[in-house]
Chain A
Amino acid sequence: MDEPKEPLKMEQVIAQTSTVCSPPLIYQRLNELINHPHCSVKDISRTISEDQGLVARILKLVNSPMFGCFSKVDSIDRATTIIGTQQLRDLTLAATVMQNFKGIPETLLCMTDFWRHGICCGIVSRNLAILLREQNVEQFFVTGMLHEIGQLVIATSMPNQMNRLLSSNREQGETYTTTERRFLGFDHAELGGSLLDSWRIPQNIAEPVCYHHTPLDSKLFPLEACVIHLADTICQAMQFGSNGERGLQSFKPSAWDHLGLPLSSLEIILKQSIPQTEETFSILEDSA
């Protein structure tokens, strides 16, 4: 198949992709519900209960080590009360998005490694957010999970170009985003942010995805972007899955300084995160 001579613009890629990969419908409905002033917990659980697979995944997640609840959470009503409506909406996104991207050839991206990296990054981000005493930590989980979603868009909409991009990147020894910008005129971070925008995912998730390589350029959510950037670095260093990038060359010390965490927190974060990864991964894998 011939590639068009003129490289596609980012907006065109998004438009193309949106016809194949629509935003998770149930997420949009929850979003509308939550923004409605008369929304009740019952309305939310009724909407989620339409998808029994989703109900099972959410309950498994809430009962998994990640949440550390002492008593069993056995209904969506209870889950909503314990973790909150916005948090539940964000978890729903995490529990449904994997099924949206299928049929990507293994030679381009190993989906297991890709999602393992995403989920680990989500867990590490979530634990960093807890340490930083942030309010909605599930938002950090889903942002971490989705931060590389732009790579899936590239793999879905222009597989041939991605092939050439990958081999060129191996030869040149430059950062992956540099190669992407040279080939495409944009990188996977921007593309991921735009896709989430087009899905009407709130800015507190879309913007950190867009700036996960240049966190301090984020105007509205620099803290969120720095958390995702650090979590991404930690996951690469610990080899939790793979994000297609090589080496740790893109780490920005300024992002670390911005968070103001003590060095000893890295060990705490890892001790918290490692026991949570396997179970979370196996729960979410069911949705793929």
Chain B
Amino acid sequence: MPKIKVDQATLGMVLADDVSSSTGRLLMKAGAELSEGFEQALLTWGILEINVVGEAAAAGVRNAEGDEALNEEELLKVREQLLPIFAQADLNHPVMEELLRLAVLKRVQQNG
């Protein structure tokens, strides 16, 4: 059963497994079709990944992802731009390191 990221799923895909929130509340049942607004709803509940039916559909998503692989050079450039914000932060701390990585990703996606 292929697992894909919620933001890469598309309308009409069918869930292979039940989706539950972190507290165990059932949100969507296996077999349900993704309809309008699913991405927002799932992210609001903290769901990042879902299992969908069909190898082909998920493989297609994964290939597309490979094509859009982020440009290393671009990432480094943005990282340099953002470093001043983190100038006084201890980048050896995993939280700061992760926040810098996420800030770079967000900026690159905004630019793109």
Contacts and interface: CB of A to CB of B under 8 A. Distances in A.
Interface of A: 65-68, 70, 127, 130-131, 133, 233-234, 236-239, 246-249, 251, 253, 256, 263, 266-268, 270-272, 274-276
A127 B88 CA distance: 27
Contacts of A271: 7, 43, 48
B89 A270 contact: no
Interface in B79-112: 85-90, 93-96, 98-100, 102-103, 106
A68 B45 contact: yes
B43 A263 contact: no
A64 B60 CA distance: 32
A249 B46 contact: no
Nearest to A234: B99
B22 interface: yes
B41 interface: yes
Interface of A is mostly: helix
B46 A270 contact: no
A65 B44 contact: yes
B40 interface: yes
Contacts of A276: 44
Contacts of B94: 263
20 contacts: A68-B40, A68-B41, A130-B46, A233-B95, A237-B86, A239-B103, A247-B85, A247-B88, A248-B85, A248-B86, A248-B99, A251-B93, A251-B96, A253-B90, A253-B93, A268-B46, A268-B48, A271-B43, A274-B106, A275-B43
A145 B20 CA distance: 29
Interface residues of B, number: 26
Contacts of B40: 65, 68, 275
B23 interface: yes
Given A247-B89, A268-B48, 16 more contacts: A68-B44, A70-B41, A127-B46, A130-B46, A236-B85, A247-B87, A248-B99, A251-B93, A251-B96, A253-B90, A263-B94, A266-B98, A268-B46, A272-B43, A272-B44, A272-B46
